[in-house]
Amino acid sequence: MAASSRGFATQLDFKLRRLGFHHPLHRDNNNVSAFRKRRRVNFEGDRVVVSRISCCCSDSVLPIRRATGTGKSVEKSDEWRFDSKKIRRSVRIQASPALPFASPQSLFISKQEKFYPRCSQRNSGPQSRDTPPKRDTGIANEKDWGINLLNENVNESGTNEDGSTWYRESGEDLGDNGYRCRWTRMGGRCHDGSSEWRETWWEKSDWTGYKELGVEKSGKNAEGDSWWETWQEVLHQDEWSNIARIERSAQKQAKSGTENAGWYEKWWEKYDAKGWTEKGAHKYGRLNEQSWWEKWGEHYDGGSVIKWTDKWAETELGTKWGDKWEEKFFAGIGSRQGETWHVSPSGERWSRTWGEEHFGNGKVHKYGKSTTGESWDIVVDEETYYEAEPHYGWAEVVGDSSQLLSIKPRERPPGVFPNLDFGSSPPPAEEPPKEPPPRQ
């Protein structure tokens, strides 16, 4: 799922050099920006060229800068467009809050030859497909990975004409309860060891119906830049309801070898056969003296809808800013509320809070206040709009998971039954060491 559903007007402006990080949030002063009339607005794109950790974002949301306000109270803001092709079914009600929200959308132009000088492989060794992960691209479909497991055990290695080396191995691990894991590992490194890559594919299954498809890849280059990425897709049956579930997740991180810069993202999606859906992401990044974070989530249970976003950023000088919002709807009735805030290096805080109550009859109660003394409390005639169902749900994820669904478990001997564990879920995937958690 792309991050476009969270795009809102930005309020901060990083000095994004070299790594090409596009800022997530910005506020110049304690100025107050004008309210937007509609929640769905237009935007266009700009690109930032990268020279260090090069990544490329192909998200459907791009920013367009404009200035609002008059006199001394002028702010830069970003407007955003939501890809209408991704909204499959929705309930009309009219647009929402008047407050802008930021997006840490990052745009990168990948210069693979600089960020990842590959070893040339001319012999029978595996061809490196490894490239740095891309920011804000969500969770890829299985077909994008091209996982192709070998049917026989392999353990081979070699040296190319330029002195670079490669290896490839595959095997099968068996365990209790019909557990089977088929895997393939491959990798290579240049002659001086300054650049290397590793990639692992696997599929897992057991007699309970559990199936898993996954990839892990990592690498580094001669400049000390490094990256790591993992992707998983899981099919299992809920122990208590017997409802089939598919869960997808991805983790990505990249770190510069020459600057105090890097980023990390964790994405997840969960679906079941009755239409229950949960999606979310946690992200953070740093570029020298500036850091930013983002968390968002969506939950659909076939009737009610809950969405939320929380984004914030800070500099080493002590300036902090951010905004957050939440919406809850059921059968056309619901609410929205949020806050935009800013803290100066001296500790002076500005904030504006707002809220909306949608009654489902064409009436909307809008209210809010700020630390500068403004306030409002009105009831207006207005339609309500919200997404009643996810634009990507159970039917879509099943259609995109053919390789996962085709995994064949070990044959179960007659009279042997699977051992169902009702007290635990499949163990989470191991994560590599990461930087300390960000300050919040």
Using alpha carbons only, how large is the chain's radius of gyration in Å?
24
**Quick one: pLDDT band at residue 271, thresholds 50, 70, 90?**
very high
pLDDT of residue 83 exceeding 70: no
392-430 pLDDT tens trace? 999 999 999 999 999 999 998 887 777 766 554 454 444
Torsion angle, alpha carbons of 407, 410, 413, 417, to 10: -70
Element (H, E) at 405: helix 402-405
pLDDT of residue 329 exceeding 70: yes
pTM of the model: 0.69
pLDDT at 422: 54
pLDDT of residue 435 exceeding 50: no
pLDDT of residue 16 exceeding 90: no
Q: In the chain, what are the domain boundaries?
A: 124-405
Three-class secondary structure of residue 264 per DSSP: strand
Spatial CA neighbour of 26 closest among 395, 369, 323: 323
For 82, other C-beta atoms within 10 Å of its C-beta total 21
pLDDT at 349: 96
- The percentage of the chain sitting over the pLDDT mark of 90, rounded to a whole number, equals 55
382-399 pLDDT tens trace? 999 888 899 999 999 999
188-216 pLDDT tens trace? 999 998 999 999 999 999 999 999 999 99
Question: CB-hemisphere CA count at 13 Å for 99?
Answer: 26
pLDDT of residue 112 exceeding 80: no
| Phi (first) and psi of residue 308, to 5 degrees | -155, 155
